[in-house]
Structure formats: C-alpha cells, structure tokens
A and B are shown apart, each in its own frame.
Chain A
Amino acid sequence: MFNTLKKSAAALAIASLISAPAMAGDLSIIFDDLNPAPKAGFEAAVEKFKAANPDINVTVSINDREAHKTAIRNFLSAEAPDITTWYPGNRMAPFVNAGQFEDVSDVWEAEGFSDSLASTKSAMTIDDKQWGVPYTYYQWGIYYRPDVFEAQGVEVPKNWEELLAASAKLKEAGITPITIGTKDLWPIAGVFDYLNLRTNGYDVHNDLTAGKIKYSDPRIVAVFEKWRELVEPGYFLENHATMSWQDAMAPFIKGEAAMYVMGNFAVESMRDGGLTDEQIGFMPFPEITPGIARAEEAPTDAFFIPAKAKNKVDARKFLAFIAQPDIQTEWNKTIGQLPINKNSEVSDDKFLQAGFETLSTANGLAQFYDRDAPAEMAKAGMEGFQEFMIKPERLEKILQRLDKVQARVYK
C-alpha cells in the first residue's frame, strides 16, 4: 500500500513539473493597488494588451499596497508571477542584488526607452542595467489654499524668507500655516527631502541616502536648523504624531490650515472633501539657498519581471507595451498622475499640468527619502525627524543615533 502511495506521489510530482513550463502563453501579473482609480487604470491597460495579443492568456491578481510590500518577498522566491509591481531606486536594490529581478536592459534597448523614458532611467538603473519599466510618477510640492492666503493678505512665497513671513502672518491669524500627519512617518520624509534639496541640492540628497555623508555633517545640520525655524514657532500642525496624512487633511479642508507638503494624490482627497479647484493651489517648494539648481520629488511606480518568472518572453512584451505613449497617456489620465514617456500627453487637469511643468524643468528627480535610502536607514531616519519635530532640543542626540545606524546599515 505504501508503495502505491509513493508511486502516485512521484507521478504527481513529475506531472506538475511537466505541466509548469508547458503553459507558455499564460502571463500572470500581480498589481499592488486596490484603490478604484489605479485599479481601473491597470485593468484598462491589461484589456488593451489582451486585445493586442489574443494568444496570451493573462491572469491578474491585485493586492492591497501594504500587503504587497510584505508578500513580495515570499512570492519572488517561492511562486513567482511573470510580472509584479515594485518601486525603483534603493527599494529595488535588495531584490536586484539577491538576483530576484530580471535584467530588462534589452527591452530598454529595443524600445528606445533610454530616450522616451529618460527622466526615470537613473532611478531604474543599478550596475548600468535597467531592472524594470516605469508607468507613472507624480510631483510633490506645497498645496495651499488661495482663498485663505487672500483673506489673510498673504502672497505665494517664492523663497525661504517669504515662507517664514507668510507662516508668521497665518499663525497670528489663528491659522495653522502647515498641516502634516506623521503617524505613518513617510509624510515627514517629504518635508525633510525638500528642505535638504533646497538647502543643499540634489547631489547631497543622493550622497546622504547613499550613505556617503554623515547625518552630523554640517550641511545636514543646516537642514535641521532651517527646519527649526518652522518647528519652534509652531508653524506645523499640533499633535501631528497622532494623525495619518488623511487626518491631517481635515484642517486643510476646513480652512484651519493653509499649506500641505504632499504628493499629487492628495488632490483627490481635497476634492472629495468639498474643495473646488479654485480653493486649491500648487506651488513648488520655495527656494532656500539662492541659485541652487531646483530638484523635485517624483516617486515612480514600475513593473518588474521576477527572476523566477515562467513566461519571460511575454512578460517582456507586456513591459514594452505599458511604456507606449498612448497607453501611458490613457492610464495616467485615469489615475490622475503623470506619464513617464515623454511622447505621452498629460491630462489637462490643472495640477497635472503644473506638476508636468515643475518636473520637466527640474534639474534632478528624487525618489523620496524612504525609497532612496535603504529601508532600515529610512525607518530610523524618519523616526528621528519625527522626534526632532516634537523635541527639537534633542537634535544632537538624534543625529548621533542616525550616524550610528548609518554606520551599520551601509557597512
């Protein structure tokens, strides 16, 4: 009896081995956003891909974004799909270094992406090879309330002094100058990045996140000193550590706070909250060090082929497909973000137009602190920023701790 059991088990194992590679023509994709607009944009693109490639049988599964972040480690090494979403920059480095992502430089070469997707090429590149194909990005900056500004007689600030003056005036009128929610930590990284990019420029941002500059470096200390000028007079929303970014939206919508350092996805919440487009303004983060080349935050989302994918041929077809100008145009119109292909059209939404203008004239594009720095450093760093915003007097201790973490993470 045991013998027959063994035999049938062996037969089963062999059968599954044979059937796995025999399924060429099947393409499985894992996408990471369940929100209505991103889901719709993705599904529409997949439908078009199916129509263009009727012989490929596409299966799609869509994860929750946070769940995807933890699940990806398991499915990459165990049961890999043919395509998965992930983030460029340092966030893809662990997978690239562990040999879990497929080198897709050939797709870039064949499709001429080095030209049409030039703006994000550096973010997709490790060791001179490209590891994925981006489909969208969006700008960060300061969203503000023009009506509140006008009521208080505040001009849109162009530089640091004007920002401080505007904040002082708003604060005096009982309005929180800048709203922020730091419970989930990442919104605080946007503020730090902009202060750093405007004080020191793009190269210092990259050197810091690459571990080449210490946190106690005078240039980074200078960033915190600028930050202090906003923190100590109380220009940020109180109790920010208890709020998510959505919670911090409430005072902005009610007109109790005037500015919000955020990504373009926030516009949707502002509109949902009942603000009209006339009540929302967008400005690039004001200049701090005069004459420094302007760099912006533009987090990018991309598709990757896992090294263990079964159908890499069709996966490459899909990557080439999603970067086409018309596909990116349509997709980004749906999700309200910016296409990366320079031949795509930007939707006529005023914030996207403003964002396109801001990003296309920028000197450099940063991926965001927590995508550019290794995860462990990012966590410690953002906790340090949060501590600084609550207890600015502890700056020295915080920087020492970050140096310590840095020394360990980048060894």
Chain B
Amino acid sequence: MASDSGNAATLTAQPPSRSWLYRNRIKLAPWMFLAPGLIFFFIYVIAPIFQSIWISFYDWDGLGPKQWVGMANYVELMDDDRFFTSLINNIWWLVLYMLAVPAGLGIALFLNQTVTGIRLYKSLFFFPFVISQVVVGLIFTWFYNPDFGIVGIVWNFFGATPPAILADEDLVTFGIIFAGLWPQIAYCMILYLTGLNNVSPDQVEAGRLDNASGWKMLWFIILPQLKPATFIAIVVTVIGALRSFDLIAVMTGGGPYGSSNVLAYYMFETALSEYGFRYGYGSAIATVLFLIMLVYISFFLWRMYQDEKG
C-alpha cells in the first residue's frame, strides 16, 4: 500500500517531463486501436449513406456536370411503374422469406436427434448454404425450364403443359423467392442447431417431470431458450430478403420486362448497368431502400433495448 502511494506521488511529482500523450495513454489506447476501424467505417459505411442521399437530388450520368434537380428524382419515382413493381416484389420477398425461420427450426429439431448416421444427414442439409447464390440461381433456372427442366418433366408426366415460371410475370418472383428459400432455410437451420446445443437439459428434464411434451415442451421450454437464435435468424432473413440481388441477376435479370425486379436490383440497373448510369435516380431508389431498412433496424434496436432493460 505504502509503496503504491509512493509511486503515485513520484508520478505526479514530475509532470513537466511527461507529455500530454503519456499522461492520457490509458484513455487514448482503446481509441488508437479503434481508430483504423472507425475511420474505415466512416469512409466506407457512414459517408456513402449521406453521399448517396446527396446525389439523389442531382441528375448526373457520372461523366458530365451534376445538375441540381431537388426532389425531381423522387417525384419521378412516384410515377414509375417499375419502381412500384420492385417495391411490391420486395414486400413479397420480406413476407415469404420469413418462412425460412420456422422451416429452419423444423429441420433443426428433426436433425437434433441421436440416430446413427445423423451427422451425414446434417451435413447434407448444410449443403445448400455452402454453395454460392449464383450457382443456386443457375440450378433453379434449369429446374424451371419448361423444356428440359425437372418442372417440365414432372408436368409432362402428368400430361399437363408446364408453366414457363421465369417468363411469367405472375409467377417469376415466387419462383425466385423459392430458389432463395433453399439456402436461407439451411442458414436458419444452422443457427437453430447451434442454439439447440445450448438448451439446458435440466430444464427439459424439469419440464418432463411436470408432464410437458410435444408442442407444450417446444413452446414453453425449448423456444424461449432459443430466443437468441430466433433473433439472429430473423435479422439475417430480413436483411437477406431486402438485399436479394444475385438470384435475380442470375435467373432473370429483372425480367421479363422488369416484373421480377426488387429495389436493390432496380437501383443497380438504373445506376450501374449497361443501360443505366443515372446516378441520381439510382441514389433515390437506394435512399428509399435505406429508409425501409432504417425503420426495421430502429425497431430491432428498440426491441433489443427493451429486452436488455428487462
């Protein structure tokens, strides 16, 4: 004790020889470690958000001078059929993609048994998550082909004319969502499998003693313990649905005539694709997408805050 205070005394006794940097090193150290991350986060995440919102008030092709047009891009959006098609498709994606969460849970529960060879089945169920979205898109494009795809073969077997799913404006979005669900279900399943590892056997045992079984066991004992896994599963599914892009690019390119577009792809098309280069208009679409995300992110942050508060 005594020597401690003595040390402190010597430290404070000679301030002029120590720099300000040295004196505040404990406070500064974490910031210095954080600095590279913070700088890059600001440059590559925060700044572009504002930049993009800023550009959305301009008419700009990326080469010539920017021209201030105020809200004109947004006014044009309100009168753009393609934009509303994309918006509605985005909502379909959000709603139907959510099926991945219960489906993933179901498969996880099914696989969470001790049976010989279950590891093999588990790894087979992991499989769709491992392959790239682009490959998933290609595979399903073949499946859906009415001439040589499996859909066509099955339909023909029953003597029916197969639908051209990817050429039909009413079916195409659902066809792509279905393809997207395949890896997404596997993703949710993995999250739930890890969650199930942490389910306390004591509580299950206690539940059994109290005569809980089947749905009751699932609903009152297992699911509450899976809450963190459910939370993550919903978050990644919503984000996955909102930024759905690769499947659409591979399977239809937004076609036929824009009917399978979603906001993310429409933004890419208008801003960056071969026929696009309207940065202002693309940024306006990006801003709308960002606002949708913002609502959702705020909601979840608020929920998290409420939970933490208890």
Contact = CB atoms under 8 A, between A and B. Distances in A.
Interface string B127-163: 0000000000000010011110000000000000000
B15 interface: no
B126 interface: no
Interface stretch (B182-190, B199-207, B269-277): B269-277
A240 B277 contact: no
B275 A376 contact: yes
Contacts, number: 75
Given A239-B146, A241-B167, A183 B255 contact: yes
A383 B64 contact: no
Contact of A241 (B81, B256, B278): B256
Contacts of A182: 255-256
Contact of A239 (B81, B147, B275): B147
Contacts of A314: none
A375 B277 contact: yes
A183 B146 CA distance: 15
A387 B81 CA distance: 14
From B62, B64, B255, name the one whose CB has the most chain A CB atoms within 10 angstroms. B255
B253 A77 contact: no
A77 B63 CA distance: 8
A375 B276 contact: yes
A69 B274 CA distance: 6
Given A77-B63, A376-B275, A378-B275, A386 B164 contact: no
> Interface size class for chain B?
20 to 34
A97 interface: yes
19 contacts: A69-B274, A70-B273, A73-B63, A76-B63, A94-B277, A183-B253, A183-B255, A238-B164, A239-B147, A242-B146, A242-B164, A242-B166, A242-B167, A370-B275, A376-B275, A387-B257, A390-B167, A390-B257, A401-B81
A355 interface: no
Given A70-B274, A95-B63, 16 more contacts: A70-B272, A73-B277, A94-B63, A94-B64, A98-B61, A98-B63, A98-B64, A100-B63, A182-B256, A238-B164, A241-B164, A242-B141, A375-B274, A375-B277, A376-B278, A386-B255
A185 B63 contact: no
Contacts of B147: 239
Interface residues of A, number: 32
Interface string B4-41: 00000000000000000000000000000000000000
Contacts of A73: 62-63, 277
What 4 A-B pairs come out closest when comparing CB atoms?
A379-B275, A241-B167, A98-B63, A241-B256
A384 B145 CA distance: 23
B253 A184 contact: yes
Interface string A70-104: 10010011000000000000000011011010000
Given A97-B64, A240-B167, A386 B275 contact: no
B59 to A, nearest CB: 10
A239 B167 contact: yes
B302 to A, nearest CB: 39
A66 interface: yes
Contacts of B257: 383-384, 386-387, 390
B195 interface: no
B252 interface: yes
Nearest to B146: A239
B258 interface: yes
A183 B252 contact: yes
B40 to A, nearest CB: 20
Contacts of B269: 379
Contacts of A66: 274
A94 B279 CA distance: 14
B178 to A, nearest CB: 15
Interface string A387-410: 100100000000001000000100
Interface of A: 66, 69-70, 73, 76-77, 94-95, 97-98, 100, 182-185, 238-242, 370, 375-376, 378-379, 383-384, 386-387, 390, 401, 408
A302 B164 CA distance: 39
A76 B277 CA distance: 15
Contacts of B169: 390
Contacts of B167: 239-242, 390
A76 to B, nearest CB: 8
Contacts of A69: 274
Nearest to B274: A69
B63 to A, nearest CB: 4
A196 B49 CA distance: 45
A163 to B, nearest CB: 25
Contacts of B277: 73, 94, 375
Nearest to A97: B64
Nearest to A374: B275
A96 B253 CA distance: 29
Contacts of A383: 255, 257-258
A402 to B, nearest CB: 12
Nearest to B63: A98
B160 to A, nearest CB: 15
A379 B169 CA distance: 18
Contacts of A183: 252-253, 255
Contacts of B273: 70
A241 B166 contact: yes
Contacts of B274: 66, 69-70, 375
A376 B276 contact: yes
Contacts of A94: 61, 63-64, 277
A387 B259 CA distance: 10
Contacts of B278: 376
Nearest to A379: B275
Nearest to A391: B169
A408 B59 CA distance: 12
A78 B307 CA distance: 50
Contacts of A240: 167
